[in-house]
Amino acid sequence: MDNIKSTEPQKTPQKKSGKQQKKPNIVGTILVGILVVIAVLMVIFTVVSIHTKDAGQRGLFGFKAFVVLTDSMSATDFDAGDLIICKEVKDPSTLQEGDIITFQSLNSSSYGEVLTHKIRRAAVDEDGNPGYITYGTTTDADDETVAVYSMILGKYLFNLPKLGNFLAFLKTPVGYLFCIFIPFMLLIAYEGWNCVKAYTKYKKAQKRAMAKERKRLIEERKEAQRLRQELQELRDQMKNNPPQE
């Protein structure tokens, strides 16, 4: 009995799809994008912090960030070095006992500084301006003066532990150098290296394509010469051996 060859097509190894091959590049691009966004945010924060003298003016969409400088609230809420986020209060009279507010101090020992303390109760100052008696939970001692409505910068929302220390370091020359300048230079160098690699890859591909085309032309020329030679041989043969009638 004759052997019957199978007509089932043989499986050939499949190449990875373009999406699978491009995964590492996509991940790298995403990481680079994240680094760029972080670096840009750092630059914006640093520039705004340096060029804004009044801390109460630093804000975005009604939210403000402040670095905690003391442990006056460490017993209950946040510590020195934390970054706190506050929200502007359109109507300070809506604040209640127990709320934590950020305000510019009128105390003799901290005049003009930004404090974030808890409201104990509503009150008025010596001139009859409404405000609140505030205190730090660590000492539980009332602040010297009333936090009047006009001095209130916002209501405390949440804190980011120890991020304030990092942002304070970021504003120093050393912090700027290591956290912004050097990363940007590395990023530029990385992108430049990618451009060089892409250009080199393009030139190699172009060179291979040119070599392939040159090889094809040489083969075509050889084939044309072979055909001409065969035609010439056929003519010579017919000339030497003419057909007899």
> For the chain, what's the residue count?
245
- What's the confidence (pLDDT) of residue 47? 58
Buried/exposed 59-89: b ≥16 CB within 10 Å, e otherwise: beeeebbbbbeeebbeeebbbebbbbebbeb
Looking at the predicted structure, is the pLDDT value of residue 232 above 70? yes
CATH architecture label of 60-162: Ribbon (2.10)
What's the pLDDT tens digit per position in 43-86? 666 555 554 445 545 567 788 888 898 999 999 999 999 999 99
Give tens-digit pLDDT for 16-35: 544 454 455 677 677 777 76
Taking the domains of the chain in order of start, what are their residue ranges? 60-162, 189-236
Rounded to two decimals, what is the model's pTM?
Answer: 0.57
